[in-house]
Structure formats: structure tokens, C-alpha cells
Amino acid sequence: MTVTRISRYFKDISLSFEPHPVTKDLPILMNQNAIARSIRNLVETVKTERVFNPTLGSDIVSSLFDFVDYATANVLQDQISIVISNYEPRVEDVIVQIDPNPDQNNFDVTVTYNIIGQELPTQQFSFILEATR
């Protein structure tokens, strides 16, 4: 018998740590925004970066110094799919699409997913991966 996790409400703090101008409280990310930020953080976290959980993260940074082509895009797509399936239990039906931009030396990443336990349409967000020096 499989157990389905039912999620109803998600709340995280913003990692900018800039206080709200009026209340002086830390900004809060709710529901879809919290999950999107969590996925982005997982993708950008380098393995061994978190001391108490050294396996958390991906090897994407090492792949960004390869060629900007479809072969590297496939490697990045696999790495992102694996890190999301391993560390983000609030989502399912994850589709990662990566388009290389050799002229700009970056990759356009689009992540599409469904949030478990919420009656929301399929969520999608995009970001750019590029090598930083």
C-alpha cells in the first residue's frame, strides 16, 4: 500500500534577509513561491556545501564549465531531475527542460511540476544557469 503525502500550506523565509520596510519582519514566501525557491536553492547548492548534510545539492557547477551544447544540457537536465526527486517531496511529475545558448554562454532552464496535495494548476518557473568566475 502506498502512502500519499497530503500538503496544504507551505511557508519559508526569504533568503534575502532584508526586513519589510514597515513591519521590520523578515519577508515570508508562501505556498508556490516557497516551493519554487526551494527547488532553485536545491539546484544551486553544491554538494558538501552544507556541513550537516553533505549529500544535499547537485554537481551542476562542475558541468557549467563544459561546452554550452545539447549534450551538456542533457547532463544538467538529469542532475536537476535527480536532486528534485531526492530532496523535494512536495512536488511530483517534474519536467525539466534546458535550452543551451552558446552565444550568451548560458542555459535557459524551465522546471514544470505539480504540488502534492493542492488543487493548483501545474506550476512552472524559469531561470538561467551560467558559469560564474
Write out the DSSP string of 35-64: HHHHHHHHHHPBTT-STT-TT-SBSHHHHT
Residue 4 pLDDT exceeds 70: no
Long-range contacts from 53-56, C-beta under 8 angstroms, 24+ separation: 56/87
Domain with 76, as residue range(s), is 11-130
Number of structural domains, the chain?
A: 1
Q: How much of the chain, in percent, has pLDDT values that exceed 90?
A: 29
Residue with more model confidence, 112 or 29: 112
Residue 25 pLDDT exceeds 90: no
Would residue 2 count as lying in a domain?
Answer: no
Can you give the CATH number for the domain in which 26 is found? 3.10.450.40
Per-residue pLDDT band for 132 (boundaries 50, 70, 90) equals low
Would residue 106 count as lying in a domain?
Answer: yes
Find the helix or strand (DSSP H, E) in which 10 lies. none
Quickly list H helices, the chain. Answer: 31-44, 60-63, 70-87
Residue listed under C-alpha cell 556545501: 49
Contacts of 103 (CB under 8 A, 6+ apart): none
pLDDT digits (tens, 9 = 90+) for 42-94: 888 888 888 888 888 888 887 777 788 888 899 999 999 999 999 988 899 99
Residue listed under C-alpha cell 538529469: 78
Would residue 1 count as lying in a domain?
Answer: no
